[in-house]
Amino acid sequence: MKPAWKRFWPCASALAVLVAAPPAVLGANTPRHTREFKLAGLRPGVDTIQSASRKLGKGYELTWQTEDGRAVVWRRVCPRPIEVKAEADSRGLIESLTGEGWHYPGDADCEGSSDQAYAKALPGTGRGLKIYGRCERVQEIYGTPEPKASSTSNGKQLESYTYTFESNSKSTLRFEVSCDLSSDTVNKLRLETVGASAQ
């Protein structure tokens, strides 16, 4: 009869191989998402409508808001028509932010707008993805998205990317990107809380 330690040696060896396997092997099929917390310099679940007004008031014009002030839209024309919309809860805490282009009815006089001013004016994420940026940057920055969705709007073919992750405030954030396939550019960014904050 073999000693007990010899009879159990193959099982122990197999277990050791599993324990020693690197995480990259065990989780090779698990998508890796880079988390995003900011859009237009603001953080859903952290910043308020009041702080958004102070920040965006320096370069954008307040163009619309609801009577209770819980949904507000700021716009600017130059160097390219852009709008930022914020929606908040009853306390004024921002729940969602949306940045996108809008149709300006006429020709805007944007002479003198420098490339630097242009880049600064475009609302973007904390990771550097901006409206009118290249669509290929989406997966370069954030990794593989959840299943993509295709649609058509105003004759344009659009493709949407969605990412969901935990925020620093322990609520869930959903990040959505819409791309115009004809120009291969980002035409809409949206960041929102989809879970109650643990406070």
DSSP state of 46: T
pLDDT score recorded for residue 58:
78
Q: For residue 86, what pLDDT band results from cuts at 50, 70 and 90?
A: very high
Backbone angles phi, psi at 137, to 5 degrees: -70, -25
Instruction: Assess whether pLDDT exceeds 60 at residue 88.
Output: yes
The tokens for 106 are 């006429």
Burial of 144 (0-12, 13-18, 19+ CB in 10 A): exposed
Instruction: Assess whether pLDDT exceeds 80 at residue 187.
Output: yes
Q: What is the pTM of this model?
A: 0.77
Instruction: Assess whether pLDDT exceeds 80 at residue 110.
Output: no
Backbone angles phi, psi at 121, to 5 degrees: -75, -25
Instruction: Give the whole-number percent of the chain exceeding pLDDT 70.
Output: 74
pLDDT score recorded for residue 16:
39
Q: For residue 101, what pLDDT band results from cuts at 50, 70 and 90?
A: confident
Of 27-31, 53-57, 175-179, least confident by mean pLDDT is 27-31
The tokens for 124 are 């973007």
Give the mean pLDDT of 47-72.
91
- How many of the other CB atoms lie within 10 Å of CB of 145? 20
Instruction: Assess whether pLDDT exceeds 50 at residue 197.
Output: no
Instruction: Assess whether pLDDT exceeds 50 at residue 149.
Output: yes
pLDDT, averaged across the chain: 80
Q: Is 72 helix (H, G, I), strand (E, B) or coil?
A: strand
Per the CB < 8 A criterion, the answer to whether 41 and 84 are in contact is: no
The tokens for 118 are 């242009």
The tokens for 119 are 């880049």
Q: For residue 136, what pLDDT band results from cuts at 50, 70 and 90?
A: very high
Q: Cα(120)–Cα(122) distance, rounded to whole angstroms? A: 6
Give the mean pLDDT of 39-51.
94
Backbone angles phi, psi at 4, to 5 degrees: -55, -40
